[in-house]
Structure 1
Amino acid sequence: MTTMTGDHLAKVRIKNLLLRAYIGIKEEEINNQQDVVINVTLRYDASAAIDQNEISAALNYRTITKQIIGHVDGNSFALLERLTHEVLEIVMEHQAVQWAQVEIDKPHALRYAESVSVCLEAHR
């Protein structure tokens, strides 16, 4: 086993979290839920988790995911930019997170395009 010194900056990815929300400004968007696909990438110092091998020492990404689901699923948002910002705020509320990127896709929002997405990031 290789021994490393210093910080162990872990990258955690929450991939393709598929939720439904009312998102948009047109009447058909306001009245009908649509799919949104959320991808979160974050970095945190996992040294304690690696050393202790205990869940209490790790960033609980299950909790983060549940918070995102609770905030997004079935709720209303006018703009994809605002929704992306709010999800990024949820992730950054966790003090262990040093950097995060959130990308949210709205499938079939544009004719001839698979999806449109907004991506925002933040760091400490």
Structure 2
Amino acid sequence: MQNAIIKITNLRLRTYIGFNPEEQQKKQDVVLNIEIHYPGDKACMNDNVEEALNYKVITKSIIDHVENGRFLLLEKLVSSVLDISRSHHWVTYANVTIDKPHALRFADSVSLSLSWQQEE
């Protein structure tokens, strides 16, 4: 089996994230990195669009969810993006890391990662 790996790198979005009053008043930047695995045998052999996982559809769903949502915790945001990333029945593994730039004064960002793997 050929394991196809889709990587969405540094998807920059804005959302309401945090529980402090100032965080709930204005959108903040978040940076998403997503990895999705699925069996790519048929797509590789047949060059048929219907046999490939459509990353544009997944990405549009994630953008809509993040930019139109409100989240108190980074954990909830990452978990919900992971759910969208793994929602197609072909997906065997997904990993999502979301960075919250400037969350700490002396750090470039704070990030949280969650992953999911299909049970065999």
Counterpart contact for 1:84–1:102, Cα < 8 Å: yes
Match of 2:18 among 21, 24, 27: 24
Residue from 68, 83, 104 that aligns with 1:110 = 104
1:1-124 counterparts in 2 under 5 A? 7-124=1-118
CA distance in 1, matches of 2:52, 2:36: 13
Deviations 1:17-50 (A, max 9, x none): 1000010000000001000000001111000101
CA distance in 2, matches of 1:16, 1:82: 19
Paired with 1:74 and 1:106, the residues of 2 have a C-alpha distance of 17
5+ unaligned residues in a row in structure 2: which ranges? none
Structure 1 regions of 5+ residues with no counterpart? Answer: 1-6
Contact persistence 2:36–2:86 (CA under 8 A): no
Q: Following TM superposition, by how much is the alpha carbon of 1:123 offset from its aligned partner in structure 2, in angstroms?
A: 0.9
Identity of aligned residues (%): 46
Moved more, 103-112 or 68-77: 68-77
Q: Is the 8 A contact 1:20 1:74 kept in 2?
A: no
Per the normalisation by structure 2, the TM-score is 0.96
Residue correspondences, number: 118
d(CA) in 1 for partners of 2:19, 2:26: 11
Alignment RMSD: 0.7
